[in-house]
Amino acid sequence: MEIRDLTPEDLDDVLDLRKRSFGLLSPDDREKWRKAVVPTLAEGRYLGMFDGARLTAAARLRQFTQWWHGRPQPMAGIAGVTVSPEDRGRGLGTRLMRAVIERGAELGDAVSVLFPATTALYRGVGYEHAGAQHNVRLSGEVLRGIRPSGQVKLRRMGPADAAEVVSVLHRVHGAARSSGPVCWDERTWSLWLAEEDDFLYLADDGLAVYRWKGDELEVDTIAAASADTLRALWALVGSASTVAPQVVAAVAPDDPVLWLLPERTREQVKQVRWMFRVLDVAAAVERRGYPSTAACSAVVTVDDPIRGGGTWRLEISGGSGSATPVPDGDGVKLSVNGFSALYAGIPVQTLRLSGLISGDDRYDEALEAAFAARPYTLDYF
């Protein structure tokens, strides 16, 4: 079987594979999918596996920015992993994912995220559970209790605002020292911002994306860098409470809206879990942000059968980190899954008890403080 870049001529076969894997797509959704996918083909972001001329599997590498402790870096978001039904259970998914990981690194991404439909396939190639999209169910009436100051100017936005949206998200996630949130590239934002049935609002330092879902409202994104804007955006959603008694919103686990609510007792949160993988240890460590108070100098050996692995001295101080190759020695031993989970802020004792870290435990507390995070995304892909 050959793995190669997909071309526009392959897209009918990919759509057939998607139908057999994920269900039917309306003609309108097929067209939207084509429009989003075609420009990425020449960038090497869609791989197919072929048995002669027959497409047997496909996977897409989406181009994202992801923040880790407030610092943005390019991230490969893996989506549309599909093996044709008649070829499943023979290792094709694994082979394709190995190629996807190599491709992500070639494209310059040091980290990668995917929302798994099943764990074993992805864990087997180095991804580990890290964060989630947290969808909380809120009462529209309670949201209406959030009073806006009246000082914030909100305007409706459209495709021409894509660059401004990206810029606002950079400000918001930098200021919040966020870990995990992602931002689509401008091209994708301009497609999303053309969605006629979405309600899209922009302020100088915030934005809201929400829509009807039956008789409820679904909030994709409310992000703001100031308290006034945050109130204004949530009040907008709460103002629909006469018709939308319930709102389902993607929020951060410590989202400030949860502290604005006048009432909070039992909460229904649906977590859609995502898995994370470091593709390039040195680049990922350098591109991450860290708490400015954290200091750590630790030797870690990462076992990565696909990307090679190795031993590095991690130096973290003043909010920045570096990883310098050193000879193998006594230090912390991690599978690439373990290192990925550590990078994503999973506590070290969790990793030790689940067998993802072994070896020298002298650095445990320092590593945990340096990589501390509660990663989440507002987006699903």
Ligand X SMILES: CC(C)(COP(=O)(O)OP(=O)(O)OC[C@H]1O[C@@H](n2cnc3c(N)ncnc32)[C@H](O)[C@@H]1OP(=O)(O)O)[C@@H](O)C(=O)NCCC(=O)NCCS
| Site membership for ligand X, residue 305 (CB under 6 A) | no
Considering the complex, state which of residue 97 and residue 296 has its C-beta at the smaller distance from ligand X.
Answer: 97
Considering the complex, state which of residue 127 and residue 189 has its C-beta at the smaller distance from ligand X.
Answer: 127
DSSP codes of every residue in 119-188: SHHHHTTT-EEEEEEEEEEEEHHHHHTS---S----EE--GGGHHHHHHHHHHHHHHTT-SS-EEE-HHH
The residue behind tokens 């084509």 is 34
Of the residues 2, 52, 118, 153, which one makes contact with ligand X according to CB under 6 A: 118
Helix (H, G, I), strand (E, B) or coil at 380: coil
Q: Edge to edge, what strands does the sheet with 320-325 contain?
A: 320-325, 310-317, 296-303, 332-335, 357-359
Residue 90 Cβ vs ligand X, minimum distance, rounded to whole Å: 6
Residue 91 Cβ vs ligand X, minimum distance, rounded to whole Å: 4
For 381, the token pair is: 């892909």
Of the residues 37, 49, 121, 200, which one makes contact with ligand X according to CB under 6 A: 121
| Site membership for ligand X, residue 23 (CB under 6 A) | no
Residue 244 Cβ vs ligand X, minimum distance, rounded to whole Å: 31
Of the residues 2, 24, 86, 120, which one makes contact with ligand X according to CB under 6 A: 120
Number of residues that bind ligand X (CB under 6 A): 17
Q: Which residues from 55-114 bind ligand X, rule CB under 6 A? A: 81-83, 88-94
Considering the complex, state which of residue 38 and residue 117 has its C-beta at the smaller distance from ligand X.
Answer: 117
Residue 273 Cβ vs ligand X, minimum distance, rounded to whole Å: 11
Q: Which residue minimizes CB distance to ligand X?
A: 93
Among 75, 132, 156, 161, which Cα is nearest to 379's? 132
Residue 271 Cβ vs ligand X, minimum distance, rounded to whole Å: 16
Of the residues 25, 99, 116, 306, which one makes contact with ligand X according to CB under 6 A: 116
Considering the complex, state which of residue 104 and residue 238 has its C-beta at the smaller distance from ligand X.
Answer: 104
Compose the 215-254 pattern: x for residues touching ligand X by CB under 6 A, - for all others. Answer: ----------------------------------------
Handedness of CA 7, 9, 15, 16 (dihedral sign): negative
The Cα–Cα gap between 288 and 229 comes to: 28
Q: What is the phi/psi pair of residue 318, to 5°?
A: 60, 25
DSSP codes of every residue in 279-300: S-HHHHHHH----TT--EEEEE
Residue 270 Cβ vs ligand X, minimum distance, rounded to whole Å: 17
- Identify whether the C-beta of residue 219 lies closer than 8 Å to the C-beta of residue 199: no
The Cα–Cα gap between 91 and 121 comes to: 9
Residue 125 Cβ vs ligand X, minimum distance, rounded to whole Å: 9
> Footprint of ligand X on this chain (CB under 6 A)?
21, 81-83, 88-94, 116-118, 120-121, 124
